[in-house]
């Protein structure tokens, strides 16, 4: 008797597991990041913790997201673990889904979004596609993703909840702070959040002074020429003669 190959069987452990409890930052610390837009946060993390621009707000432009990450990894086109994440996430969590960037199937739609809203979750960020946009728009609930397709998901597994994932080119750990607005999505590592917030607040006054000066036309680009000179930038005059700045 020929038995069925076991190469596609689901196996417990890596790839098919959930973590019920994770460490989350203090809610007051998370809320404080609402004082800043994502470009400012990104700048102070040296522009290395910003998701690719393909992942963007597919709901109302004014719907921002801010909260600890509940991370989900799914097999592309499957959303069994997205459903399970609704039982594990806490109010204000952002469910961040690693669907491998697949455009073949949506991994959530208006029904999952409705359930998430009833659980008081903070929104979704999906490295993949979603569907049922009219229904989601009616919820006033933020969903960020790569795009939209009418093709629905399967519910078979495998997948993971609350283990490290990648989303939009950024590694996201459970409990990291996820912030998103019209500019895009940034991820603040949980262990760096308090120090980053302190630096953001310290820099705010100086930045505000500079922005106000530019607004009234009071600025100089002398610093540009300094950098060009340091790099020995070649300068060509109107007659084509060459000089070194």
- Domain assignment of residue 42, yes or no: yes
Query: Whose CA is closest to 45, among 188, 219, 231?
Result: 188
Q: Which residues pair with 51 in a beta bridge?
A: none
Burial class, 48, CB count within 10 angstroms (exposed 0-12 / middle 13-18 / buried 19+):
exposed
Cβ atoms of 96 and 162 closer than 8 Å:
no
For residue 178, what are the β-bridge partners?
67, 187
Q: Looking at the 3D structure of the chain, how many domains does it have?
A: 1
At 88-113, the pLDDT tens digits run 999 999 999 999 999 999 999 999 99
User: Can you tell me the mean pLDDT for 232-244?
Assistant: 74
In a domain, 245, yes or no: no
**Tokens of residue 92, six digits:** 């204000």
Q: Mean pLDDT across the stretch 173-177? A: 98
pLDDT at 138 (0 to 100): 96
Q: Domain residues for 47?
A: 16-200
Confidence of residue 243 (pLDDT cuts 50, 70, 90): low
| Residue 209 in domain | no
Query: Do the domain assignments include residue 215?
Result: no
Of residues 177, 188, 203, the one with CA closest to residue 30: 177
CATH of the domain at 92: 3.50.30.40
Q: Is residue 60 assigned to a domain? A: yes
Task: Determine how many CB atoms are found less than 10 A away from the CB of residue 150.
Answer: 11
Q: From the centroid of its chain, how far is CA 183?
A: 11
Spatial neighbors of 223 by CB under 8 A, at least 6 apart, are none
Q: Show the tokens assigned to 139.
A: 């919820």
Helix (H) or strand (E) run with residue 31 in it: helix 27-32
Cα 202 to the chain's mean position, in Å? 25
Does any domain span residue 240? no
Are 129 and 146 spatial neighbours (Cβ–Cβ below 8 Å)? yes
DSSP 224-237: HHHHHHHTT-EEE-
Checking if the pLDDT of 244 tops 70, the result is no
Identify whether 64 is part of a domain. yes
Q: What is the pLDDT of residue 9?
A: 83
Asked if residue 187 is part of any domain, the answer here is: yes
Report, as an integer, the average pLDDT of 199-223: 86
Global pTM? 0.90
Query: How far, in Å, CA of 152 to CA of 154, rounded?
Result: 7
């Amino acid at each position: 008797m020929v038995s069925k190959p076991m190469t596609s069987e689901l196996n417990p452990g890596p790839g098919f597991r959930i973590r019920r409890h994770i460490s989350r930052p203090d809610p007051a610390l998370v809320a404080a990041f609402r004082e800043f837009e994502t470009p400012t946060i990104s700048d102070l993390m040296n522009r290395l913790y910003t998701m690719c621009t393909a992942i963007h707000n597919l709901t109302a432009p004014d719907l921002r997201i801010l909260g600890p990450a509940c991370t989900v990894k799914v097999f592309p086109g499957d959303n069994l673990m997205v459903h399970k994440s609704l039982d594990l996430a806490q109010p204000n969590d952002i469910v961040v889904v690693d669907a491998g960037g697949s455009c073949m199937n949506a991994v959530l739609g208006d029904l999952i979004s409705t359930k998430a809203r009833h659980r008081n979750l903070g929104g979704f960020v999906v490295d993949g596609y979603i569907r049922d946009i009219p229904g989601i728009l009616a919820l006033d609930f933020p969903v960020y993703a790569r795009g939209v397709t009418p093709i629905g998901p399967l519910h078979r597994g495998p997948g993971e909840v609350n283990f490290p994932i990648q989303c939009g080119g950024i590694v996201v750990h459970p409990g990291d702070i996820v912030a998103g607005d019209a500019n895009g999505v940034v991820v603040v590592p949980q262990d760096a959040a308090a120090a980053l917030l302190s630096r953001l607040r310290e820099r705010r006054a100086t930045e505000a002074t500079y922005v106000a000066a530019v607004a009234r036309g009071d600025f100089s680009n002398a610093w540009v020429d300094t950098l060009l000179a340091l790099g020995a930038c070649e300068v060509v005059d109107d007659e084509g003669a060459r000089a070194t700045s």
